[in-house]
Chains A and B, each alone.
Chain A
Amino acid sequence: MTILSLTSVVVGYDAEPVLRGVSLDVPEGSLVAIVGPSGCGKTTLLRTIAGLVRARSGEIRLGRRMVATHGIHLAPEKRRIGWVPQDAALFPHLTVAENVAFGLGTGKKAAIGGVRGAARKQARSERVRHLLALVDLTALADRLPAQLSGGQSQRVALARALAGVPDVVLLDEPFGALDPLLRGDLRDEVRALLRVEGMTGILVTHDQAEALSVADYVAVMRLGEILQFGRPDEVYRRPATPWVASFVGEAVFLPGVWTPDAPEGTGGTGGTGGTARPPRTGTVHCALGRLPAEWVAGPPQAGDDVTVLVRPEEVEIAPATDEPGRTATVTGVSYTGHDAMLDLLLDGGLRIRSRVTAADLQPAGARVSVRVRGRVLAYPGSPALP
């Protein structure tokens, strides 16, 4: 079931909209990562969902309620959302427990289960205790925010956001300010916590590795638009555009020429001919030879120029032999321990990269033979010049 749904949301002014018609459906209980470079509008998207920014047009549905549509803007305090900002934003004058209790609100909202007076107070403090136990901070309940580490602060912020049992938790680069080691741990912890609570989460990050590793779904944003929304492996393996391909991972682009495979069902038995759907697969002819390929956008016609995407881990190398084949010279090595990235200069003059395990490592200057494993992807048009 969809818990959050955006339809053609536009934010900003005519000349330079920050969001140019964003549509997104978030399944209940999932963790969605919104990833994109700085300034792509991902934080604005999150703030728009929260109601902190007003959409100019489009609709936002949260749960069963319409929270934003033409002329209607539900205030953030009425949207039942949790907000975890990058700087944690703990209230500096309140203790850890008081910060979490702040999330329980005052007045009507605070009367959990309709109880009042002493019973209500009891229920509140019990709820705070439960939340603090959830994020493993019971011992720090009476500390002030200034006495917490970055990771602890983020956990308090999360507990505070969960306090009111929101429909969706919005996390705005919550791990951005932490050091890399702590970051990974906290990320896994947060994911586990959201799973256990059955909570839907939307995480904004500019770190594509973080997005791919933590989320159930990834939305890749650029210039105020969502270019692709899908499971992490879909996005990595079948990027919608060359830009997405290079944003979510290392990518090598080569110019190539498309030859489609024979259409299915044209094996001589008088088929329907011209109306047959063109095949998804074909062959590209490029600097790495003739490679089996699949088109992503198109379909391209036979003889069309295409851009061939090759991931460095698909480029295999071996010491050069006298056998005929593609050969290259290693021009650079960046060694990272578990594997290494090699810069290769193909004999034809093109540069590509190969990710190899330590066992296959070749020194700079070595002559190697090059082979591509698996099916490559083809996009319409020639590659943009670097």
Chain B
Amino acid sequence: MSGLNEPPTSVPEPNSTSSSRRPPRPLLLLAVLACLLASIPLIYLLVRVGGSGLDDVVRVLGRPRVPRLLLNTVTLAAAVTASTVLLGVPTAFLLARARLRWRSLWVVLAALPLAVPSYLAAYGWLAAAPTLQGFWPSWFVLTLVSVPYVSLPVTAALRAGTSGLDDVARTLGRGPWRAFWLGTWPQVRPATLAGALLVCLYVLADFGGVALFRFPVLTTAIQQAYGASFNRNYAAILATVLVLLALLVVLGEQTARGRAQRQFGAVSGVATRRIVRLGRWSAPALLLLVAVPVLAVGVPVAELFVRLFEAETLRALDLANLGQALLNTLALSAGGAVIAVALALPIGALAARYRGRLVRSIESAGYLALGLPGIVVGLSLVFFSLSVVPALYQTAAVLAFAYGVLFMPKAIGAIRTSIGQVPTSLEDVARTLGYGRLQTWWLVTARLARPGIGAAALLVMVTAMKELPATLLLRPTGTDTLAVELWARTDVSAYGAAAPYAAALILVAAVPAFLLSGAGRARTDGTPA
């Protein structure tokens, strides 16, 4: 049969079923429970501040120091965000679209600053130049360590996108810059915004870096107020201001992204990517690619190793203490990873399989912790454990729970993706073959998503190892982690003594990072080893 009425062959019917299916109630309940648990710090903070009375709030906010702190915080966040975008987008363009030798090496180098916590980079620079202080060094170091938050997602967007629109714009008489602006920029704009959001939140939440450079912002003020302990309401109110600031940033980004997506839907057709020859731009391009990792990682690490191998350091090295700190770090971060994955699993499973307003709001609630700085979670859980569950105050459980809450958003993303990659038809088949819902989940979905879930746990672990402010507030007395030991020594300018802890921290964080990048990927594409 040929001609008029033959329907197009091999066009599958759109699978509308997953959106119309209702989520099973137990899963929904678990996800809501996880959201509630994860929002304990935020809710308790608000309860605490609400209980302190309006007078207190007005008095605290009326202090002359507060506007200064706000201004410092906002200026630093804005300056770092702007500079990371200015550095990150060109870096991404070079990585994705320029003719480069050893491209994969450059990509790894560009990601490297992620492995270095801000306080470690700041420590390295201070060890080299002890007089650095104030806004500019803070801006400098925070920019360096957070450029990858912009450059990596934008690189991915450029790789997934097409330069076909640029080509069309060129044939329609636009110059290369104008064509980029019309054709490529709209494709990378959402990724740039998302990256800028992460940078902004990172700077708002940063404590170690700014504290080392003695630049007074909200996080450091919260820490001081808490330490001074005469008025903990002051700390709580400042923390609320910080959270509001972070939520404002999240909201702003979502509005901007929504607009960007409306303007520019998916690009249809086959993606073509033109690779640009650099020519006379080679030298500045290479300079850009080399400068960020060298300044963010190279200088601090070099300084670190110089200090590490000084005779004085080696003599003073307390191996037992170092080993204990290492074990504590691993145990606490592993606990945090387990809690984060347990909280993220129902939310990720729900978001991967079902749609609708309820599911969307549960997922958004899961990402709320993105806007919660570590110091805020730490502070709130101190209050919470003291007054609600005193038995748990200053126990490892509360600290691991703080890690879980803080880094759950990282786990949600990875889990959602890995479950989303398991085709629903596999679950359908298992059901029709006589396996119940739970059996199917265990034998099929969880089994196939296992590498992704494992990667999520590892990701949380790596991040938790480097976490500083919440650890400082919540650690059980006498339980010191690598980050805490390092901090204790940088604070009194004992740079040599801090070096072994810094080195150990970099090494233990590097091992899972290596697993995540290489070994993990080989497992997940489903090909037999």
Q: Which residues of A contact B (CB under 8 A)?
A: 12, 18, 37-39, 42-44, 47, 50-53, 75-79, 81-83, 85-87, 89, 91-93, 102-103, 105-106, 109, 144, 146, 157, 160-161, 163-164, 170, 173, 176-177, 180, 206-209, 246-247, 249-251, 334, 336, 341, 353
Contact = CB atoms under 8 A, between A and B. Distances in A.
A158 to B, nearest CB: 12
A38 B14 contact: yes
Contacts of B429: 83, 85, 89, 157, 160-161
B90 to A, nearest CB: 39
B2 interface: yes
A206 B11 CA distance: 9
Contacts of B426: 89, 91
Contacts of A160: 429, 433
A37 B431 CA distance: 27
B435 A105 contact: yes
B14 A39 contact: yes
A81 B433 CA distance: 7
Given A164-B434, A209-B6, A336-B2, 5 more contacts: A50-B428, A52-B428, A53-B21, A85-B429, A86-B12
A77 B431 contact: yes
Contacts of B432: 50-52, 76-77, 79, 81-83, 161, 170
B17 interface: yes
A106 B442 CA distance: 13
B7 A85 contact: no
Contacts of A79: 432
A176 B14 CA distance: 13
Contacts of A102: 430, 433
Interface in B500-529: 526-528
17 contacts: A38-B7, A47-B17, A52-B432, A53-B20, A75-B437, A77-B432, A82-B432, A87-B425, A89-B423, A89-B428, A92-B526, A93-B526, A102-B430, A173-B12, A208-B5, A246-B5, A247-B5
A207 B7 contact: yes
Interface in B419-460: 423, 425-426, 428-437, 439, 444, 447-448
Interface residues of B, number: 38
A249 B5 CA distance: 7
Chain B contact residues: helix, strand, loop or mixed: loop
B10 interface: yes
Interface of B: 1-7, 9-17, 20-21, 423, 425-426, 428-437, 439, 444, 447-448, 526-528
B17 A38 contact: no
A111 B434 CA distance: 13
A246 B4 contact: yes
A177 B428 contact: no
A84 to B, nearest CB: 8
A334 B1 contact: no
Contact of A146 (B428, B435, B528): B528
A341 B21 CA distance: 45
Contacts of B430: 102
A173 B1 contact: no
Nearest to A147: B528
Q: Which of A42, A81, A92 has the most CB of B within 10 A?
A: A92
Nearest to A38: B13
B8 to A, nearest CB: 8
Nearest to A247: B5
A326 B495 CA distance: 105
